[in-house]
Amino acid sequence: MSGRIQAPRGTYDVLGEDASARVALEDHARRILERAGYARIETPVFEATELFARGVGESTDVVQKEMYTLDEGSEGSFTLRPEGTAPVCRAYLEHGMHKLPQPVKLWYLSSFFRRERPQKGRFRQFWQVGAEAIGSDDPAVDAEAILLLSELLEALGCRGVRLRIGSLGTPETRRAYREELQSYLRAHEAELAEEVVARIDLNPLRAFDSDHRGTQAVMAGAPRLLDRLTDADAEHFATVCALLAAADQSYEVDDTLVRGLDYYTRTVFEFTSDALGAQSGVGGGGRYDGLIEQIGGPHTPGIGWASGVERMLLTASTLAAAPAPLDLYVAYATEEQRIAAFRLAADARRAGYAARLELGGRSLKGQLKQAGNAGARYVAILREDGTFLRDMETGDQQQVEIDTVMHHIGQVTL
C-alpha cells in the first residue's frame, strides 16, 4: 500500500473560515425564506433515474452526460440528484401536499452532483440554496421568488449582480416556435457551428447559447420567442415585470435566455455576476407548470430557483459568522486535577454553557494562552491548592469552591 488518497476531482473539503461563511450564508437564507413562508425540505441524495430523465429532460446535458447513475439490478436504476426541483415535486406528490393551502413554499440547502469538467465555480459535488413555490400560477409568486433571491444575494454582499429575465411561454407556443426556429436554422446550416447543427432536432433553442461567431450572427436575425407568446403568456410576463418594477428591482429582459433544464415554462430568470469568470451564473430558475404532470401527477403549476453556494461565496465580499462565544475554559495544573476538570467542563455544558477542557496536554501556561486565544470569558484553573476563577475581561482572579464555579459565571453570563 502506498500513495496518499485525495478527495475526488471536482470535490472539496469545507474548512475553517469557509465553514463559518457557510453558516452565515445558511442563516441569511433561512431568515429571508422563512420570513416569506418557505419551510425547509430535505429529499434523498439519490432518486429513481427516471425522475430526472422525465423531469429534467432527456435532451439536456445534465441527463445525457452528467448524471452519476447507480445500477441496483432488480431494484432499479438510481441517480445522485443533479438538481432539486424534480425531487421536491416528487415529494409534493408523494405526500399529497396539494391538500395544503397553495402555493406550498419549500426551501433547501443541499448538495447536488453533476459530472462536469471542474473549473472555477464548477464542481462535481456542489451546494445550492433553492426555493420552490408549488400550486399557483399567479405572476406575483414569480416576482416574489425573484425578489427573495435578489434579497439573499444582497444580504450576502454578492458583487456585480445582474438580473436577466425572459419568458418561454407554454409548451404549445414553444412547439410552434421550435418548428419555426428549426426551419430558420436549417436554412442557415452552412453558417452554424457543427454542434449547433447536430442539435437542431433535439434542442434548437441552445443555438442562442453558442459562442461560435457564425452562429451568433445567424441568431441575431432569428425569430424570437417573446414575439410569439400567446396573449395570456405575454400578459403573465408583463405582470411579472411590472411587479418587479413596483418593488424597485432592476432587471433586463433577455429574449434569448436559455436555461439548461427542459422543464421551464413561462418565466425564466438568471442572476449573473461580473465577479465570476466563465461560470457567471450565480443563481437562476423559473416556472415549471408542466413538470408535475411529466412525473405522473395532475397539472400543477410551480416556480422556483436555485443558487450555487460556491458561486455566492466567490462573489460575496465578506461573509463571516460571529465566532461562537466560549463561556468557560477549564485548565488544570497536574494530572491529579484532570478528572475534576473533565467533570466541571461536562457539568458546565449540561448547564447550558459553552465550555471547553484542555485536551492537548499543554502546560498550565500554555492552557491559559489557549484560553485567551479561544476568547474564553472565564477560565477555571484547578490546582493542588484549590480552584481559581479568572475573569478574562477584567483580569480579576479569585479562589472559589469548585462547586460554585457555575454560580459565579452564571451571575454575569446568564
Rounded to a whole number of angstroms, the minimum distance from the CB of residue 122 to ligand HAM is 4
Asked if 66 and 114 touch (Cβ cutoff 8 Å), the reply is yes
E runs forming strands in 59-118: 69-71, 77-80, 104-113
Q: Does 347 bind ligand HAM (CB under 6 A)?
A: no
Residue 137 engages ligand HAM in binding (rule: CB under 6 A):
no
- Report the C-alpha gap between 340 and 383 in whole angstroms: 10
DSSP assigned state of 322: P
Query: Should residue 123 be labelled a site residue for ligand HAM when binding is judged by CB under 6 A?
Result: yes
Does 285 interact with ligand HAM (rule: CB under 6 A)? Answer: yes
Q: Which residue is nearest to ligand HAM (CB)?
A: 308
Residue type at 21 in one-letter notation: A
**Minimum CB separation from ligand HAM for residue 80, in Å?**
12
Question: How many Cα atoms sit within 13 Å of 150 on the Cβ side?
Answer: 18
Which is closer to ligand HAM, CB of 113 or CB of 353?
Answer: 113
Q: Which residue in the set 81, 90, 114, 188 belongs to the binding site for ligand HAM (CB under 6 A)?
A: 114
Q: Map residues 222-241 to x or -, x wherever contact with ligand HAM holds by CB under 6 A.
A: --------------------
Q: Which is nearer to ligand HAM, 288 or 329 (CB)?
A: 288
Instruction: Measure the CA–CA gap between 46 and 265, rounded to whole angstroms.
Output: 26
Least Å from the CB of residue 300 to ligand HAM: 14
Distance (Å, rounded) from C-alpha 125 to C-alpha 144?
A: 29
User: Any bridge partners for residue 111, and if so which?
Assistant: 127
283 binds ligand HAM (CB under 6 A): yes
> Is 83 one of the binding residues for ligand HAM (CB under 6 A)?
yes
* Residue 305 binding ligand HAM, by CB under 6 A: yes
| Backbone φ, ψ for residue 126 (5° rounding) | -140, 165
Size, binding site for ligand HAM by CB under 6 A: 28
Residue 14 in grid coordinates: 469545507
> Do residues 299 and 291 touch, judged by C-beta distance below 8 A?
no
When the beta carbons of 266 and 356 are compared against ligand HAM, the nearer one is 266
- Order the strands of the 125-134 sheet from edge to edge: 39-40, 104-113, 125-134, 302-308, 281-287, 265-273, 161-167, 252-253
**Bridge partners, residue 253, by sequence:** 165
Asked if 135 is part of the footprint of ligand HAM (rule: CB under 6 A), the reply reads: no
Q: Tell me how far, at minimum, the Cβ of 153 lies from ligand HAM, in Å.
A: 11
Q: How far is the CB of 308 from ligand HAM (least distance, A)?
A: 2
Binding mask 204-223 for ligand HAM (x = CB under 6 A): --------------------
Q: C-beta of 81: minimal distance to ligand HAM in Å?
A: 10
Angstrom distance (rounded) from CA 281 to CA 288: 19
Burial of 316: CB neighbours in 10 Å, binned 0-12, 13-18, 19+: buried
Residues that bind ligand HAM (CB under 6 A): 83-85, 114, 116, 121-123, 126, 128, 130, 132, 260-261, 281-286, 288, 304-308, 310-311
